[in-house]
Each structure stands twice: as C-alpha cells, then as structure tokens.
Structure 1
Amino acid sequence: MATTKTIQSLERAFSILELFQSGKSELSLKEISDSIGLNKSTTFGLVNSLTTLGYMLQNEDNQKYSLGLKILSLTNAVKMNNILIRVSRPYLEELSTKYRETVHSAKELNGNIVYIDKVDADTSMYINTQIGTKNYMHCTGVGKVLLAYKSDDEIETFLSTHQLKALTFNTITNPEHLKREMAEIRKNGIGGDDEEIEMGLSCVAVPVMKSETTAGFAISVAGPTVRISENKKNGLAEDLKNTAAKLSEIIYGYTAE
C-alpha cells in the first residue's frame, strides 16, 4: 500500500496553529518551541512566516502570539457548518429585508470585534466591512454592546490597554464618557454608534446573551444616519431585541426572565 508523504514545514506550521485548541489564547515562543519539540530558531522561522501571512498575531505588549484574523477569513467555505452563523443567518436576512439596511453579527477577539457574518442590502450605503476582519470596540455599535457586558475589571483593563482613537468628531475618546455609555447599554439592553466610525453612518446594536450577564455575540443594523433615525421610530430597536432574544434561546438555551 502506497504511503502519502507530507511536507514537513507545513506539518509543523499546522502543529503550531493546533496548539491553540488547548484553550490558551496566547503562547510565548518558548512555549510553542517546547510544545512542538523544535529549537527556538526553527520555531521562530515558522511563527514569523505564519505571522507575516496573517495566520498569527504578536501581542506587542508581552511578545506572545495568538491566532490571527486570517483564520477567520477562511470561514466562507465552512460557515454554514457553524451553528452560530447557520442559525442566525435567516434572522439577519429578515432584518435586512425589512429595513433595507446592512446587518452585521460580530464577536469580540482580543479587545477588538471580528465580523462573523454580514447581510448587505441593495439600497443601503456601501459599508466597508468584510467577514473575518476586525474593527474597534469603542466606536462600533457591536463593539460597545459587547464591551458593556464585560466585568468592571475587564472594562478597566480594556481602557488601560487600548487607545480610544478618534475616527470622527463623534468618536468617544474620554474613558469616563465611554463607561457612562456602557452603563446605559446595560440598563437598556441596546446600543449603537452615531457617526462615530464614519460620518453619515450610524447603527443600532444589541447583544445576544449567553446568560444574564454574559454576551455571546452582537448583531446590528447599519445605514445612513437619516434612515437609521427614522427606522428607530418604526420599531428597529424592538425588532433587534426580539431577534437577539430568539437567538439567545436557540443557540445558548438562555431565556431572559
């Protein structure tokens, strides 16, 4: 029986990526080297290649490595096998059809948000987002509603490690202002952005809760500020909340009291 040969460098590279299946979000070069049984020089060459290609990221603060967002860019081929995307997609399409605007779903990853699905509307303005790409938490609707359900300590850590970069005149750059908005989001169960990432663009966002205090992911409806303001008057917030409640129950088995 013939045997199939594998390319050793590829085998080693995938072994590095598979280390993150253990649950650790970050690994040092030494930890990677020890785990795969290679010297640090060889390991660095592999890690450096994976980082250059976008499949790994290096944390500049502690020099440790994590999975890169390029991994998520491969999800188009397999996304229908992902229960979160498969279950939520029809609900996102329903919102997009009703309001004729772009709908996103997103998760938090290392202090940023990553878009996991997107439904474009033909009549909506062009929104430059792609599945698998990251964006800021402090000035996106999905980012803010996910940040709001972090613990106080986690929010303080985020504020101490992430610059609140101003992208427009409306971007919140004051930590105390942002914390007040987090409190309002927790109180009302809904958030958004008001031309904070791009002038003329606004959104309404809600968390999909895993439990009473933990958000699993977030969904939003985005479009021109004038239309979003009008949609708010026509039930957009309630529709988003109702959709999120359904997804919480279906995906996480959580029903709010």
Structure 2
Amino acid sequence: MGADQGDGTVGKALDVLDMVAGAGRPVRFTELLEQSAYPKATLYRLLQTLTHQGMLAYDPDRQTYSLGVRLVRLAHAAWATSSLAPIARPYLDELSGETGETIHLAQMDNGQVLYVDKRNALKPVEMFAQAGKVGPAYCTGVGKAMLAFLPDEAVERVIQRQSFHSFTAQTLDSPEKLWAELRAIRSRGYAFDREEHEPGIICCAAPILTKAGRVIGALSVTSTTARTTIAALGAVSGRIRETAAKIAAEAESWRFPEQG
C-alpha cells in the first residue's frame, strides 16, 4: 500500500482513509501501523490531520479511529450527485416487484465493481454484494456486463488489475477465459454469473449504456440455485435490458450527458 510519489500528502492521507474504512470497525493505531507502509511518525501525523479535519473520529476511551462525520457528509453528496442510485431507484423498485428477486445496481470503480444500490428478494438470501461494497469485476455478473462493453484497451487495463483468484470451481481464473466470456456477452447483450463469485449465487446482468455506447453502470437480477436456474434468469434478460435502457436514458439527460 502507498500513494504514488506524485500524489504527495493527499495521496498518503487517502491511503490512511482506505485503511480505516477497510477495517469495517473502529481501529487502533497499532493495527494501522502493522499494515501501513509509512513510518510511525508519518502515520500518526496523517491520522491527526484527518481527525482535525473531521474526516476521521478518534475515541479517546477506546483509543480507536473511525470514519468521521465530514467524510460521511461528502460520501452522501457523492452518492447524490455522481451515483446512478437516485436516478435508478423507481426502476429498481419496479423490477424487484416484478421478479421477486434481488436487484443490484453497480458502477465501475478503478477496475473494480462498486455496488451503489440493492433491492432484496421477497425471501432474502445472505450474499456478498451490498450497497457500498466493492467486488471483483472478472467474476460478477455486473462486472462482466460492464467490462464487455468497454473499449478493448480499457478492458486490458482493467484485466491487469484483476487477481483472478478462484473463489469457486466456476470462477474464470485467467485473462484468456475472461476474454472468451466477454466476447460472448458482447454478442448476446447480457451477462451471467454462474456461481463464479459465491457458491449457489447466480445472476443475469445487463450494462447501462449511453446512446454513444459509453458504459455508466450495470444492473442485475440475482438469485440462488436452490430457487431458480440460469435459463430462468436468462428468460428475464429482455426486461433487465429494458430497465437498464430506461436508467441510461434518464441518466444521460440529467447527470451523465455526452461531451461534444
């Protein structure tokens, strides 16, 4: 871990914020020091600055750091102005009501999948994907749906950032396997997750594209092998793509206009 040299203090501070956020709970200085690439004095100075600026909160009784109120406020503003979630909300509600299954909305974030909204199934199932979580692009339906419609050079850059860890026996564990899958997705217009990230979890996903073909997100209907099949999810692919197109049309006219 560590900021690029050109990023200076700001990059280092963002690294520290990432560490605190990644802990998922209040974290002590010693824990951060163990995973930090920065010297003890540098890390302490960065933590002090972030705390003074309200980006982190310090609990003197427990001696722990957690994300601060100012950061939460900035995150909410980003969600409202840069996320597809506010635009997509009524369309997600409609698709959720029709299918009774889990609906995910995602965007690409630095080569990974950022889940920005979710609707639970009528009978919810515990799964990795939750709003605010970041997941791998190469083995999720929404990730592959977005990757397939990026320019080839952009796909190559994203592929270089993938771990190709085998989460299950179905995971596409090499660039060659992923490329073959992406070509198939481009041909049919939608993607599947065939238990590639989590055992028993399957989905059908479609990209959210502007009129010019720019990828701005993806949408999926997710279920379990105990409840349905890939073929059954494929049967609603048209409805998923229709919903994705509606979200794209509204997003393009409101917050994501094409630049001339």
Task: Identify whether the pair has TM-score above 0.5, normalized to the shorter chain.
Answer: yes
1:96-107 superposed matches below 5 A: 96-107=96-107
C-alpha deviation, 1:124, in angstroms: 3.5
CA distance in 2, matches of 1:160, 1:229: 29
* Match status 1:146 vs 2:113: no
1:60-209 superposed matches below 5 A: 75=75, 79=79, 84-209=84-209
CA distance in 1, matches of 2:72, 2:184: 31
CA distance in 2, matches of 1:173, 1:156: 15
Structure 1 residues 188 and 121: alpha-carbon distance in aligned structure 2, compared to 1, 3 A threshold? same
Match of 1:232 in 2: 233
C-alpha deviation, 1:99, in angstroms: 1.2
- 1:229 maps to amino acid: I
Structure 1 residues 123 and 177: alpha-carbon distance in aligned structure 2, compared to 1, 3 A threshold? same
- Secondary structure in structure 2 of the residue aligned to 1:168: coil
CA distance in 1, matches of 2:82, 2:171: 33
CA distance in 2, matches of 1:250, 1:151: 23
The question of whether the paired residues in 1 share the 8 Å contact of 2:168 and 2:199 is answered with yes
- Give deviations 1:146-202, integer Å, cap 9, x for gaps: 111222122223333422111000111132221111111112110020111111110
1:10-49 superposed matches below 5 A: 28-33=4-9, 46=13, 49=16
The question of whether the paired residues in 2 share the 8 Å contact of 1:99 and 1:231 is answered with no
- 2:116 maps to amino acid: I
Structure 1 residues 168 and 91: alpha-carbon distance in aligned structure 2, compared to 1, 3 A threshold? same
Question: Of residues 20, 30, 36 in structure 2, which corresponds to 1:53?
Answer: 20
- 1:217 maps to amino acid: G
Stretch moving more, 93-102 or 223-232: 223-232
- Secondary structure in structure 2 of the residue aligned to 1:218: strand
CA distance in 2, matches of 1:77, 1:223: 31
CA distance in 1, matches of 2:243, 2:161: 33
Structure 1 residues 47 and 203: alpha-carbon distance in aligned structure 2, compared to 1, 3 A threshold? closer
Structure 1 residues 47 and 216: alpha-carbon distance in aligned structure 2, compared to 1, 3 A threshold? closer
Structure 1 residues 211 and 73: alpha-carbon distance in aligned structure 2, compared to 1, 3 A threshold? farther
CA distance in 1, matches of 2:216, 2:15: 32
The question of whether the paired residues in 2 share the 8 Å contact of 1:124 and 1:224 is answered with no
Q: Which runs of 5+ in 1 are unaligned?
A: 1-25, 37-42, 61-69
CA distance in 2, matches of 1:160, 1:79: 28
CA distance in 1, matches of 2:194, 2:156: 23
- Give deviations 1:78-134, integer Å, cap 9, x for gaps: 856667212211111111111111101011111110100011123132223221110
The question of whether the paired residues in 1 share the 8 Å contact of 2:137 and 2:162 is answered with no
- Give deviations 1:230-256, integer Å, cap 9, x for gaps: 6436x41111011111111111148xx
Q: TM-score, normalised by structure 1?
A: 0.69
Structure 1 residues 72 and 222: alpha-carbon distance in aligned structure 2, compared to 1, 3 A threshold? farther
CA distance in 1, matches of 2:220, 2:236: 10
The question of whether the paired residues in 2 share the 8 Å contact of 1:222 and 1:228 is answered with no
- 1:54 maps to amino acid: A
The question of whether the paired residues in 1 share the 8 Å contact of 2:87 and 2:251 is answered with yes
The number of equivalent residue pairs is 207
CA distance in 1, matches of 2:219, 2:246: 12
Structure 1 residues 238 and 47: alpha-carbon distance in aligned structure 2, compared to 1, 3 A threshold? closer
Structure 1 residues 30 and 251: alpha-carbon distance in aligned structure 2, compared to 1, 3 A threshold? closer
